[in-house]
Amino acid sequence: MELKIFPYTKKDGLRTRTDSGIMALYDQMATDGSAGIVFSEGHIDSRESFLKYMKAPGTYLFVLKVDDEIMGVTWLDEIKDKTAFNHFCVFSNFWGKDTVALGKTTLQKLIHIGDEAGYVFEVFLGKVPAWNKRAVEFAQACGGVNLGVIPYGIKDAAKEQNIDAVLIYYTRETF
């Protein structure tokens, strides 16, 4: 399986994917039943809000393809001082496949982005609702280090309250 990572960005003033193509990614998450889990904080609740967020300054979306089939997406946001929050969503057509190896490869490639001035990122962080054991296990299997539980560390919009979150980090040394 060959993984290719496609950044959603502007080249010569044009986006690398159409608006409808980006909204279709959200549609797939909704069809898979993942949208409400991935966006449990409630700030993204539609294809339009997904598109708006992925176009926002400071948010960097990457479309992940394996053998020309979209396997999912990852994005970086809340970037400050060479630290970024990382988010993943694997589509159902890849559930049960070797997503851990693909996730690890994705993270390795992203954390090694740099030029002659050095690396862009030193650490990626992830906050996962503590109840989502599958996501916590996936993050750890991809090389993430579990720092522990933050009480009330993430908003659950459906419950209208904050819930416990597991804080995960990745560095180049964790791979």
pLDDT recorded at residue 30: 98
pLDDT recorded at residue 96: 86
pLDDT recorded at residue 174: 86
- Please state, in angstroms and as integers, the Cα–Cα distance from residue 26 to each residue in 80, 102, 143, 158, following that order: 26, 20, 26, 18
Residue segments in the chain with a per-residue pLDDT below the cut of 70: none
List the structure tokens of 167: 């804080």
Report how far residue 175's alpha carbon sits from residue 68's, in angstroms, rounded to the nearest whole number.
26
Residue where the block lists tokens 């962080």: 125
Q: pTM of the full predicted structure?
A: 0.95
Residues 6+ apart with CB under 8 A from 109: 5
CATH no. of 3-174:
3.40.630.30
Query: Would you kindly state where each structural domain of the chain is located, as residue ranges?
Result: 3-174
